[in-house]
């Protein structure tokens, strides 16, 4: 909803109270990264060789060992990796590459835990023979793999002729693309629906409204590719790269490059094979089936919403007082437009501090009356909550007392910490630096 309102929510936050040092740590200085044309080409890295290959009916496991001297393009090449290929379901194939040696201290850097984002699993019955897809690989000149459709050999992904780069702060994998390819997705973005063959999509969540051709609020590392033919039905497949780290997808004339600054290669290839034709001799794929397979098989269906949320909602940033709010509600009635819910933005707060209301502009008594009035008419009221919390001056008892919400949150350890200092993560947004 904040996106729609076109303003900001910064995860700033935090704060402290009891038992916390009274000196603020200095604000971090951020140096913008500037593209360096002299930057090393990661494709100079040596790649890997597969060994100890163990094949079973439902997949393959192997060790991947750095195939030459480390090139260390953007970090240090990780010498030992493991490969795990799993024919998870008829329409879904998983290829995962991650460091062989992972400890408790670095596990969260490389492995995205299932508790944060569901990890799709083998259905317990699909084998390489019943899958729609086929994994093939080669060690010449270094480890490379391809995914093809089992029934007609159509290649949907191929890293052939490119090296796989796996460094502690940089991952890169390149797939060959068909001429003039059509891919859609890699949200969130504001860009042409067809992403094009000369475009770079960065996925790194940022609080930027209406960011044309830039990274925006969310990260959905998934794309759908459709191939259109003159004299035969189009084909469709999907690719989901399960990784929460900042990443880039570089669409170029003949290739698509996937880069991330952490995590692992955890790719899910979706065949898009049409479910309504299952069991028949006809084989065909569709974009719709790709989305079904992505939602049901990978990320899960959206939560069912309450019925009233589907009604007409009015929200706006900039209503200066409760009088505006009353007038908007009354104007809807006068115009005979059914209004399901009315929303207040951060105007309602005292000095932009979440969990408060301004006693003069939005007095509690009047707000109670207005909300009761709405409820009596079967309408709803929603107060937007910003994620940033005012940080009172810990050395000023009356400042701390003026904003008890902070102390209560600090007590239950609700606020984000700076991983380097262990102290509250402090930023600047609506409520100010403090």
Ligand X SMILES: *[C@@H]1O[C@H](CO)[C@@H](O)[C@H](O)[C@H]1NC(C)=O
The Cα–Cα gap between 109 and 425 comes to: 20
- To the nearest whole angstrom, how small is the minimum distance from the Cβ of residue 197 to ligand X? 8
Backbone angles phi, psi at 317, to 5 degrees: -90, 125
The two three-digit tokens of residue 247, written as one number: 């990443």
CB-wise, 2 or 60, nearer to ligand X? 60
CB of 33 to ligand X, least distance (A): 18
Nearer to ligand X, 161 or 393 (CB): 393
Q: How far is the CB of 129 from ligand X (least distance, A)?
A: 8
- How many Å apart are CA 128 and CA 117, to the nearest integer? 26
**C-alpha to C-alpha distance for 29 and 199, rounded to whole angstroms:** 30
Minimum CB distance to ligand X smaller for 106 or for 385? 106
In the block, tokens 């995860």 appear at 11
Q: CB-wise, 298 or 346, nearer to ligand X?
A: 346
Q: How far is the CB of 300 from ligand X (least distance, A)?
A: 30
Pick the closer one to ligand X by CB: 232 or 398.
398
Q: Which residues, other chains included, contact 299 with Cβ-Cβ below 8 Å and sequence gap of 6+?
A: 117, 118, 222, 240
In the complex, minimum distance from the CB of residue 341 to ligand X, in angstroms, rounded to a whole number: 16
Nearer to ligand X, 152 or 364 (CB): 152
**Nearer residue to ligand X within complex by CB, 197 or 275:** 197
Tell me the C-alpha distance between 160 and 149, whole Å: 16
Cβ 416 to ligand X shortest distance, Å: 23
Render 272-326 in DSSP notation, one character per residue: -B-GGGTTSS---B-HHHHHHHHIIIII-PPPPPPGGGGS-EE--S---SHHHHH
Cα–Cα distances in angstroms (integers) from residue 146 to residues 84, 133, 134, 385, in the given order:
14, 10, 8, 47
Write out the residues near ligand X by the rule CB under 6 A: 78, 99, 101-103, 105-106, 134, 136, 148, 150, 168, 198, 324, 327-328, 331, 393, 396, 398-399, 402
Q: How far is the CB of 274 from ligand X (least distance, A)?
A: 19
CB-nearest residue to ligand X? 103
Pairing mode of beta strands 313-314, 341-344 = parallel
The closest of 346, 331, 312, 315 to 431, measured between CA atoms, is: 346
């Amino acid at each position: 909803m904040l996106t729609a309102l076109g303003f900001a929510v910064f995860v700033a936050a935090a704060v402290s109270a009891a038992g916390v040092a009274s000196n603020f740590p200095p604000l971090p200085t951020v140096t913008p990264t500037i593209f360096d044309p002299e930057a090393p080409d990661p494709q100079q890295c040596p790649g890997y060789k597969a060994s100890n290959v163990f094949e079973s009916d439902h997949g393959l496991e192997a060790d991947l060992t750095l195939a030459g001297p480390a090139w260390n393009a953007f970090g240090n090449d990780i010498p030992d990796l493991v490969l795990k290929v799993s024919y998870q379901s008829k329409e879904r194939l998983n290829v995962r590459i991650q460091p062989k040696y992972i400890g408790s201290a670095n596990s969260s850097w490389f492995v995205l835990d299932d508790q944060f984002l569901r990890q799709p699993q083998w259905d317990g019955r699909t084998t390489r023979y019943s899958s729609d897809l086929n994994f093939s690989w080669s060690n010449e000149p270094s480890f490379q793999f391809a995914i093809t459709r089992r029934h007609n050999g159509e290649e949907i992904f191929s890293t052939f002729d490119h090296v796989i780069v796996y460094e502690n702060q940089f991952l890169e994998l390149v797939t060959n693309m068909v001429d003039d390819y059509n891919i859609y997705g890699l949200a969130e973005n504001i860009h042409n629906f067809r992403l094009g063959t000369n475009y770079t999509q960065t996925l790194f969540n940022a609080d930027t409204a209406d960011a044309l051709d830039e990274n925006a609020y969310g990260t959905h590392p998934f794309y759908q590719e459709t191939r259109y033919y003159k004299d035969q039905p189009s084909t469709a497949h999907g690719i989901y790269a399960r990784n929460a780290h900042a990443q880039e997808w570089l669409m170029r004339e003949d290739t698509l490059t996937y880069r991330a600054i952490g995590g692992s290669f955890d790719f899910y290839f979706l065949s898009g094979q049409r479910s309504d034709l299952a069991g028949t001799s006809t084989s065909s794929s569709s974009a719709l089936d790709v989305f079904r397979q992505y939602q049901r098989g990978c990320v899960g269906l959206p939560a069912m919403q309450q019925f009233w949320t589907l009604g007409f909602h009015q929200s706006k940033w900039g209503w200066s007082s409760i009088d505006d709010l009353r007038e908007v509600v009354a104007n809807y009635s006068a115009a005979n437009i059914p209004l399901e819910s009315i929303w207040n933005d951060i105007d309602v707060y005292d000095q932009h501090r979440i969990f408060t209301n301004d006693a003069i502009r939005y007095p509690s008594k009047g707000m109670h009356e207005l909300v009761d009035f709405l409820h009596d008419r079967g309408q709803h009221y929603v107060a937007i909550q910003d994620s940033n919390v005012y940080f009172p001056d810990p050395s000023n008892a009356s400042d701390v007392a003026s904003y008890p919400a902070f102390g209560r949150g600090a007590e239950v350890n609700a606020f984000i910490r700076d991983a380097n200092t262990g102290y509250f993560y402090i930023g600047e947004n609506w409520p100010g630096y403090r």
